[in-house]
Amino acid sequence: MKRLSEILDKVRGGGRMDRADSKFLLEIDERSYASGLVRAAASSVVRSATDNAAIILGQIGVEVSPCPADCKFCTFGEGHTRFERSKITDEALSQKIHDFCKDGDLYGLYLMTMHTYDVDFYLNTVRKARRLAPPATQIWANIGDTDADVLKEIKKNGVTGIYHVLRLREGADTRLKPENRLKTMRNAIDAGLELYTCIEPIGPEHTNDEIVENLFATLDLGIVQHAAMRRVAVPGSPLFQYGQISELRLAHIVAVVALATARLPKMAYIGTHEPNELSYLAGANIATAESGANPRDVALDTAKGRGRDVADCRKMFFECGFTNLRRGDESNIPLDFGYLVKTRA
Q: Contact 256/26 with Cβ under 8 angstroms?
A: yes
- Closer to ligand SF4 by Cβ: residue 154 or 234: 234
Task: State in angstroms the smallest separation of the CB of 229 from ligand SF4.
Answer: 11
Q: What is the end-to-end Cα distance of the chain in Å, rounded?
A: 41
- Closer to ligand SF4 by Cβ: residue 296 or 327: 296
Task: State in angstroms the smallest separation of the CB of 100 from ligand SF4.
Answer: 21
As a whole number of angstroms, the distance between CA 234 and CA 297 comes to 7
- Report CA-CA distances (Å) from 69 to 15, 81, 177, 213, 302: 38, 12, 10, 22, 21
- Report CA-CA distances (Å) from 54 to 24, 80, 149, 196, 343: 28, 37, 33, 16, 16
Task: State in angstroms the smallest separation of the CB of 31 from ligand SF4.
Answer: 31
- Closer to ligand SF4 by Cβ: residue 42 or 64: 64
Using CB under 6 A as the criterion, which residues of the chain lie in contact with ligand SF4 when the complex forms?
Answer: 67, 69-71, 74, 76-77, 114-115, 144, 174, 295
Task: State in angstroms the smallest separation of the CB of 32 from ligand SF4.
Answer: 33
Measured from the Cβ of residue 266, the count of other Cβ atoms closer than 10 Å reads: 12
- Closer to ligand SF4 by Cβ: residue 232 or 316: 232
Task: State in angstroms the smallest separation of the CB of 261 from ligand SF4.
Answer: 23
- Closer to ligand SF4 by Cβ: residue 115 or 327: 115
As a whole number of angstroms, the distance between CA 117 and CA 268 comes to 29
